[in-house]
Amino acid sequence: MPVVRWPQKYEEAVFSSSEDRIRASNGSIAVAGFSIVPLSRPDKGPGLAGVGSLKPSRDSGSTHSWFTRAGESLFTVLFPGDCRICGMPLLNISRLPVCRECLEQIHPVEGQVCSICGERVLSAYAENDADGLRRCPLCRRIDRPFSRAVAYGSYDGGLRELIHLLKYNGVRPAANVLGRMLAETIAALEPAFGQPKVAAIPVPLFKTRRRQRGFNQAELITRGALKLLPVERFELAADVLARTRDTRSQIGLTSHQRRENMRGAFAVARAEDVIGREVLLVDDVYTTGTTLSECARVVRRAGASQVWVATVARTLKNPSFNVVRSESFAKDLASAWVPENS
């Protein structure tokens, strides 16, 4: 089982109801109620164990607990704030403007999913193929440019709001929480890697978009995840892949328009860093897979031996998604698919 390392120090940030960060300092967190989503530990079993708090040790004694409760009470009086997801008052000293209850509602993907792209698989396709893999209708018809794509959770509810806090509101502490989720996902994928060290490449932003935002959310999340994974297994390669032109929003575009929108939008800046290597592409969200597929094709053409994909969230079909509609969609997309060597 992959070993996940747990950092001892964090950047503390306190949020007010005005939605501004009003204090930030570096230091060890030694108070209860620290709102963060840790990975499962060996002694806690699977899932997001210990969500929402880092509890003080028993050796700290009742005096420490009394001061902790007093400090939190003073915090709620001086710095009243509301959870950005549910709107309830924040009662704990937190580096995130999100309450423990909302974090506890974020769960990993459940049910049958495609072994290749991670899409939800309907009952008609729930059986494994001869190679032991379970494939959705689309992955039965086309060859993906990546070996496998995995995601932590469904892109809805609290997870979607948490990603938006980072992406559109600049709440950077969310990156470490999302990074923990990503680390759990990568740890589950790690046994499939064939090389001792994998190059982790965040999907880049175009330079003007990054300048406006001030950061690349995929890179922040990747850095947060790699802090918790064995350092000898992964190498951050943030500048290997470049976005060569800006692209319009994919929202509302057809599958063909999405592919045309992304065609030629990426290039490998340093081919020597990917030739003959396994590459792990990382992004915040997998929607239709158009962006990540284009990145995977570019990296493979540059010489990568194998490409994997890991994201924090993925859009998933509703369980009641009609099978006939799914087959029709797969047929249309497959007929318009452009082979990699074209």
Q: What is the CATH number of the domain that holds 214?
A: 3.40.50.2020
* 152/239 same-domain check: yes
Count of all residues that appear for the chain in the document: 342
List all residues 6 or more positions away from 316 whose beta carbon is below 8 Å from its beta carbon. 109, 113, 119, 120, 154, 155
Q: How far is CA 106 from CA 125, 192, 248, 319, in A?
A: 27, 26, 30, 18
* 219/304 same-domain check: yes
Residue 4 belongs to a domain: no
Q: How many CB atoms lie within 10 A of CB 231?
A: 10
* 328/185 same-domain check: yes
Residue 241 belongs to a domain: yes
- Condensed to tens digits (0 to 9), the pLDDT of residues 32-91 reads 233 334 444 334 343 443 333 333 344 445 666 666 655 555 544 445 488 999 999 888
Report yes or no: 334 and 323 within 8 Å, Cβ to Cβ. Answer: no
Q: Which tokens belong to 305?
A: 């031996």
pLDDT for the residue 335 = 41
- Condensed to tens digits (0 to 9), the pLDDT of residues 4-31 reads 544 444 333 333 333 333 223 333 222 2
Residue, of 276 and 325, whose pLDDT is higher: 276
* 170/293 same-domain check: yes
* 154/96 same-domain check: no
Burial 2-24 (b: 16+ CB within 10 A, else e): eebeeeeebebbbbbeeeebeee
Where in the sequence is the domain holding 156, given as residue range(s)?
123-336
Residue, of 210 and 338, whose pLDDT is higher: 210
pTM of this prediction?
0.72
Residue 20 belongs to a domain: yes
* 194/231 same-domain check: yes
Q: How many CB atoms lie within 10 A of CB 317?
A: 15
* 20/140 same-domain check: no
Residue 111 belongs to a domain: no
Residue 87 belongs to a domain: yes
Please tell me whether residue 225 adopts helix, strand or coil conformation.
Answer: helix
* 323/207 same-domain check: yes
Q: Which tokens belong to 40?
A: 């499962």
Strand partners, 25: 12
Please tell me whether residue 39 adopts helix, strand or coil conformation.
Answer: coil
Report yes or no: 196 and 186 within 8 Å, Cβ to Cβ. Answer: no
The structural domain count of the chain equals 2
Residue 70 belongs to a domain: yes
Of 73, 104, 135, the residue at which a domain comes to its end is 104
pLDDT at 220 over 50: yes
Residue 208 belongs to a domain: yes
d(C-alpha 47, C-alpha 160), whole Å? 19
* 173/256 same-domain check: yes
- H-only helix segments in the chain: 61-78, 100-104, 137-141, 157-169, 173-189, 207-213, 217-226, 255-262, 290-301, 323-336
- Condensed to tens digits (0 to 9), the pLDDT of residues 101-126 reads 999 999 999 888 999 999 998 876 67
What's the mean pLDDT in 235-259? 86
* 131/171 same-domain check: yes
pLDDT at 149 over 80: yes
Element (H, E) at 152: strand 148-154
* 272/307 same-domain check: yes
